[in-house]
């Protein structure tokens, strides 16, 4: 069986980039679109994305933010407010020059973000201190022309949410950005995607342009490289000053707001795949899995099929997302391999012999081996099993992160450790000069953290920080 | 009070177009975007749209369809497969000519629909009869350059879902398109939006290009004009032939599939506003309302505010979407007017005198007048009240539809009736010649129905049909 499986995918250990491409194709997750750098998200991957959206959206709304929808098209003049776009078309922009059957007087840009529109609108919508904080979020597609596209990780068009908020004080802005970072992103990534993340600050050189502070959640992929999963920015009064986002305070005085922005994208799909996948395909944590359990009828006789259907009905009633597979054409082995590829957490195999013994056979995707399970216990056992798998997958990802993270005290040691994972080095030891030196070898500071692995307090940053260093996607 | 209110909005009866613009602005639903014809959907309207999406999506999924996401950009050559696009840029298309900092070798079009991409992909994904039916849907933004934009009704960019399916037989395709039309669109529009619709077929001249049959759900707005709320198309084998969507049948023979497509959009927001709105603003049916109940503290003393908070907590626990309004600044009257404008179904006013009597005052948005309601009964009374309002709003819209629909027997009578509403006329009497004659006066056949108001059976259309005739948005 192992031999047969290994024909399907490249190996995680020996050719991770190839393995990633193989999984995308064989598990029917995504295809290249006809325009270079664009992506077709196929039903199975889109179902995962819908669950991501729903989980992240609920957390965003719990912080009090509301969703809006702003236009895809932005007048070119809006982007010219930002100095770096003044000289002609920025390479990342897609520009519409013709519409309505003729050439446009002013070209319009397909949004690379909606930042400038949020700026214009918040300036208009915010008048009084009573309008603050203004907490807005948008789910949308954005376009950044990509020279080296890679599905889910870097595509010319991607799906994301971008939040933009305005506050009366720096304290309120910092507190809110921190809340988004920890209660939305970190909580979702760890407790739903089972991906442990290192929350921290970006160094000044890695900061988002215009931000006074960029918070990041960094995760380690299966090959030891880092993936930035989400970022939140304190923009100070820079953005508010540029867009004139002011308010009249209780004393009638005009004040400038403090703003934040924060985002997460379909890149998280890439992170999910690369965090948990193994040589046999995806492994999807139960809380995000479109199908938590697949019930496979081993034979197509009425008794087996009816029993399989009954199990699906019982588990669905118990709140388990359950998929029925009673296909006749592909043999049982091929179907089992397919669900393994797709990373469905639990496979239940229903066959005549098992039914004679009033049991089914179950296989956990995250560990090897099959075991019998009495039919009578299914509805009570499976939900408990799914919870345990969720915990186990997070624990196992934490173990990998710990095993591949080395505490070092010199730049040379950091460079060595970054070959296979992360290095932790005192920020006073590394410094911006050391950071630049590592950059030459494509090694970056992923984030700065407190010595005990927490995100620094933006209002009272400790000086005693460590740098997490590694290669990154 | 009435005098004060009438200053806010134009009147439904005397200036409906102006009233519509006023409502969009005063109820903070939408703004024009900076690029002509684009739209900013503000939080309150977007919250309604999110509920629309969720309700429609659940119904689509219940029919077995899966969601995908296809790229925003389409190579121009894809559209040239369709004859009408061959000659240069079609006026409705927005074309990206520059990206990546330079001029593109082949311009790319911003999707006006994803039809051609679905065609290409289904041709690739469908191989065997076992892949059928293939039932796909997409939620996305699309762009059709609009010369006479009108927020929600006709905008250069809008949000929609488009479904595309392929089937082995014409029967299966027709049955599925009918199911989408009745179980998804009609059910949602009537039972959630409380908008009665006339399901029927488009006449050959009103049919979607390439369709063998177009099904529509037509609704009557507050001014007696029609709005097409959703359409479903049987595409026969036309589309499958153009895109080579074929399959190998059980006998190993290559066959051409039968396809359908169907869509609904943010236009439904326009329909919701124009169906139920009155001189005081929106009226949102409880099932789609972001806030079903708003609890207004009349004074800002602790006792009143605490009581209001307790009511919100109790109703929320009972599953009622409840909004708390304890703002101090705007006076009570202004706040009441604001919630009325926003069409929140039930307003609960909590004040010291009411609390002394262990009651609150409630106002239904759909009818006039206020009544006291004992605090002890709130949690049991409100859900029942919301259900009744939902029914009443549908019934009242049905009454208007019936009152403004006239059965006529000549084209002149049809023309007269269409001034204020719909005319029903035998299709054999009207005919395509009569249809053309009415078109000259901007009157169209909205749909063809059976004599008892049902949608004809696409597989066995009765000859004895009536035409619903009216002016339309």
Comparing alpha-carbon positions, the chain B residue that sits nearest to A101 is B91
CATH number of B408's domain: 3.30.110
Contacts of A49 in chain B (CB under 8 A): 69
What average pLDDT score do residues B433-458 get?
Answer: 96
Interhelix angle A43-62/A267-276, rounded to 10 degrees, is 110
Q: Which residue has the tokens 């005009």?
A: A254
Residue A227 sits in the same domain as residue A374: no
Pair A301, A376 in one domain: yes
ipTM rounded to 2 decimals: 0.96
Nearest to A71 among B40, B96, B101 (CB): B40
E strand or H helix that includes residue A435: helix A427-439
Residue B100 lies in a domain: no
What would the two tokens of residue A368 be?
A: 């090897």
Co-location of B354 and B434 in the same domain:
no
| DSSP notation for B127-151 | -BGGG-SEEEEEEEEEE---SS-BT
Mean pLDDT of A385-390: 97
In the predicted structure, residue B86 carries a pLDDT above the cut 50: no
Q: CA-to-CA distance for A454 and A464, rounded, in angstroms?
A: 12
- Cβ atoms of B235 and B262 closer than 8 Å: no
- Under the banding of pLDDT at 50, 70 and 90, the label for residue A353 is very high
> Does residue A448 sit within a domain?
yes
Beta-sheet pairing, B134-143 with B157-167: antiparallel
Single out the residue in B217, B249, B276 at which a domain terminates. B276
Q: Is B133 in contact with B122 (CB distance < 8 Å)?
A: no
- Asked whether residue B3 carries a pLDDT value surpassing 70, the answer given is no
Please check whether residues A163 and A305 belong to one and the same domain.
Answer: no
Average pLDDT of B368-381?
92
User: Which domain-ending residue is among B357, B388, B419?
Assistant: B388
Tell me: do B458 and B378 sit in the same domain. Answer: no
- Selecting from A46, A108, A141 the residue whose C-beta is nearest the C-beta of B72 gives A141
Our CA-based measurement puts residue B306 at a distance from the nearest CA of chain A, in whole angstroms, of 20
The reported pLDDT for the residue numbered B367 is: 85
> Side-chain half-sphere of A456: how many Cα atoms within 13 Å?
23
B269, B298 Cβ separation under 8 angstroms: no
As a whole number, the mean pLDDT across chain B is 94
Smallest Cα–Cα separation from A207: which of A183, A246, A236? A236
- Report CA torsion sign: A217, A220, A222, A225: positive
Contact status of A91 with chain B (Cβ, < 8 Å): yes
Give the mean pLDDT of chain A: 94
Domain containing residue B248: CATH number = 3.30.930.10
Q: How far apart are CA B406 and CA B420, in angstroms?
A: 10
Mean pLDDT of A324-341: 88
Q: Would residue A77 count as lying in a domain?
A: no
Q: In whole angstroms, what is the distance from residue A278 CA to residue A280 CA?
A: 5
User: Mean pLDDT across the stretch B431-448?
Assistant: 97
Same-domain status, A186 and A318: no
Tell me: do A439 and A301 sit in the same domain.
Answer: no
At A83, the pLDDT band (50, 70, 90 cuts) reads low
- The confidence score (pLDDT) of residue A89 equals 54
A72 and B121 in contact by Cβ < 8 A? no
In this structure, the answer to whether residues B230 and B298 fall within a common structural domain is: no
**Rounded average pLDDT over A387-410:** 98
Are B266 and B316 within one domain?
no
CATH number of residue B318's parent domain: 3.40.50.800
Structure-model confidence comparison of residues A82 and B50, the more confident one: B50
Contact A68 B130 (CB under 8 A): no
Q: What is the secondary structure of B353-405 as a DSSP string? A: HHHHTTEEEEEESSS--EEEEEGGGHHHHHHHHHHHHHHHHHHHHHHHHHHTE
Average pLDDT on B412-428 reads: 97
In this complex, do A157 and B94 lie within 8 Å of one another by their Cβ atoms? no
**B4-29 pLDDT, tens digit each:** 454 689 999 999 999 999 999 999 99
Which tokens go with A50? 């819908």
What is the rounded average pLDDT of the residues A337-353? 95
What is the per-residue pLDDT for B413?
98
Confidence of residue B1 (pLDDT cuts 50, 70, 90): very low
Residue in the block written with tokens 């588990």: A315
**Which of B272, B267, B242 lies closest to B257, judged by CA?**
B242
Is residue A84 situated within a structural domain? no
Give A-chain residues touching B35 at CB under 8 angstroms: 71, 73-75, 108
Residue A158 domain flag:
yes
What pLDDT, on a 0 to 100 scale, did the predictor assign at position B332?
A: 85
Q: Residues B293-314: what's their mean pLDDT?
A: 95
**A33–chain B nearest CA distance, Å:** 6
Local confidence band at A401 (pLDDT 50, 70, 90 cut-offs): very high
B233-256 pLDDT, tens digit per residue, is 999 999 999 999 999 999 999 999
For A67, the closest of B43, B96, B107 (CB atoms) is B43
Same domain, B305 and B451: no
Q: Is residue A83 part of a domain?
A: no
Tokens standing for A166?
Answer: 């305005």
Residue A259 main-chain phi, psi, to 5 deg:
-120, 160
Sign of CA pseudo-dihedral B276, B230, B175, A309: negative
The percentage of chain A sitting over the pLDDT mark of 90, rounded to a whole number, equals 89
**Using a CB-CB distance cutoff of 8 angstroms, which residues of chain B are in contact with residue A108?**
35, 94
State yes or no: cis peptide before A133, omega within 30 of 0: yes
CB neighbours of A250 closer than 8 A, spacing ≥ 6?
A: A129
pLDDT (mean) for A294-302: 93
- B349, B417: one domain: no
Give me the mean pLDDT over the A412-437 stretch: 97
Could you say which of A69, A98, A141 has the minimum Cβ distance to residue B41? A69
CB contact B73 to A (< 8 Å): yes
Domain count within chain A: 3
pLDDT at B137 over 70: yes
Q: Is the pLDDT of residue B442 over 90?
A: yes
- Minimal CA–CA distance to B203: which of B434, B440, B473, B442? B434
Could you give the CA distance from residue A279 to residue A2 in angstroms, rounded to a whole number?
10
Mean pLDDT of A208-237: 97
The mean pLDDT value for A44-61 works out to: 98
Model confidence at A366, pLDDT cuts 50, 70, 90, reads confident
* Rounded-to-integer distance, Cα A239 and Cα B108, Å: 33
Q: Which of A78, A89, A96 sits opposite B101 (nearest CB)?
A: A89
Letter string b/e over residues B206-236, b meaning 16 or more CB atoms within 10 A of that residue's CB: bbbebbbbbbbbbbbbbbbbbbbbbbbbbbb
A25 reaches B (C-beta below 8 A): no
Chain A residues with CB under 8 Å of B47 CB are 66-67
For A96, the closest of B34, B101, B110 (CB atoms) is B110
Q: Examine the pLDDT at B216 and tell me if it is beyond 90.
A: yes
How many residue pairs from chains A and B have C-beta atoms closer than 8 A? 171
Chain A partners within 8 Å of B143 (Cβ): 72-73
Over residues B181-193, the mean pLDDT reads 98
- Using a CB-CB distance cutoff of 8 angstroms, which residues of chain A are in contact with residue B39? 69, 71
Confidence at residue A86, expressed as pLDDT on a 0 to 100 scale: 42
Q: Under 8 Å CB-to-CB from B403, ≥6 apart: which residues?
A: B421
Q: What is the mean pLDDT of residues A431-448?
A: 97
Report yes or no on A285 lying in a domain: no
Chain mean position to CA A235: 22
Give me the domain span that covers residue B152: 2-72+111-276
- Indicate the pLDDT class of residue A367, thresholds 50, 70 and 90: confident
Residues whose CB falls within 8 Å of the CB of residue A164, separated by 6 or more in sequence, listed in order: A114, A115, A118, A119, A122, A136, A137, A259, A260, A261
Q: pLDDT (tens digit, 9 = 90+) per residue, B316-355?
A: 999 999 999 988 777 888 899 999 999 999 999 999 999 9
End of a domain among B242, B276, B310?
B276
B358 and B437 both lie in a single domain: no
- Residue B240: the pLDDT is 97
pLDDT of residue B89: 53
Q: What values do phi and psi take at A15, rounded to 5?
A: -150, 75
In a domain, B104, yes or no: no
When pLDDT is averaged across residues B94-122 and rounded to a whole number, the result is: 94
pLDDT of A462: 74
């Amino acid at each position: 069986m192992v031999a047969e499986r290994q024909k399907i995918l490249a190996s995680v250990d020996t050719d991770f980039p190839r393995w990633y491409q193989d999984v995308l194709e064989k598990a029917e997750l995504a295809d290249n679109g006809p325009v270079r750098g664009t992506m077709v998200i196929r039903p199975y991957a889109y179902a995962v994305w819908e669950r991501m959206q729903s989980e992240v959206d609920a957390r965003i709304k719990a912080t009090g933010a509301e969703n809006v929808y702003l236009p895809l098209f932005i007048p070119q003049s809006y982007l010219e407010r930002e100095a770096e776009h003044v000289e002609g078309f920025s390479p990342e922009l897609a520009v519409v020059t013709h519409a309505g059957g003729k050439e446009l007087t002013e070209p319009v840009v397909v949004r690379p973000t909606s930042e400038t529109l949020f700026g214009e609108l918040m300036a208009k919508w915010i008048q009084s201190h009573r309008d603050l904080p203004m907490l807005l979020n948008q789910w949308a597609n954005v376009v950044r022309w990509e020279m080296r596209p890679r599905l889910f990780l870097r595509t010319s068009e991607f799906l994301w949410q971008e939040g933009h908020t305005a506050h009366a004080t720096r304290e309120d802005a910092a507190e809110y950005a921190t809340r988004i970072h920890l209660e939305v992103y970190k909580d979702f990534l760890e407790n739903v995607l089972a991906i442990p993340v290192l929350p921290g600050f970006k160094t000044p050189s890695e900061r988002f342009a215009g931000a006074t502070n960029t918070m990041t959640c960094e995760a380690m992929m299966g090959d030891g490289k880092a993936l930035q999963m989400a970022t939140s920015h304190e923009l100070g009064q820079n953005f508010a000053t540029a867009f004139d986002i002011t308010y009249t305070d209780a004393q009638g005085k005009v004040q400038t707001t403090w703003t934040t922005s924060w985002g997460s994208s379909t890149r998280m799909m890439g992170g999910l795949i690369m965090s948990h996948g193994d040589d046999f395909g995806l492994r999807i944590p139960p809380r995000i899995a479109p199908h938590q359990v697949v019930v496979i009828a081993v034979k197509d006789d009425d008794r087996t099929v009816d029993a399989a259907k009954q199990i699906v009905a019982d588990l669905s009633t118990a709140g388990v997302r359950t998929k029925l597979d009673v296909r006749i054409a592909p043999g049982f082995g091929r179907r089992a391999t397919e669900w393994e590829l797709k990373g469905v957490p639990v496979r239940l195999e229903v066959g005549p012999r098992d039914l004679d013994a009033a049991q089914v056979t179950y296989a956990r995707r995250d560990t090897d081996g099959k075991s019998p399970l009495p039919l009578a216990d299914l509805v009570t056992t499976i939900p408990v099993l799914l919870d345990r798998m969720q915990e186990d997958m997070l624990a196992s990802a934490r173990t990998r992160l710990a095993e591949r993270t080395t505490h070092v005290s010199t730049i040379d040691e950091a460079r060595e450790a970054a070959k296979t994972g992360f290095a932790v080095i005192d920020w006073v030891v590394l410094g911006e000069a050391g950071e630049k030196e590592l950059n030459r070898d494509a090694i970056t500071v992923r984030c700065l953290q407190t010595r005990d692995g927490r995100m620094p307090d933006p209002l009272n940053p400790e000086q005693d920080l460590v740098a997490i260093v590694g290669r990154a996607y």
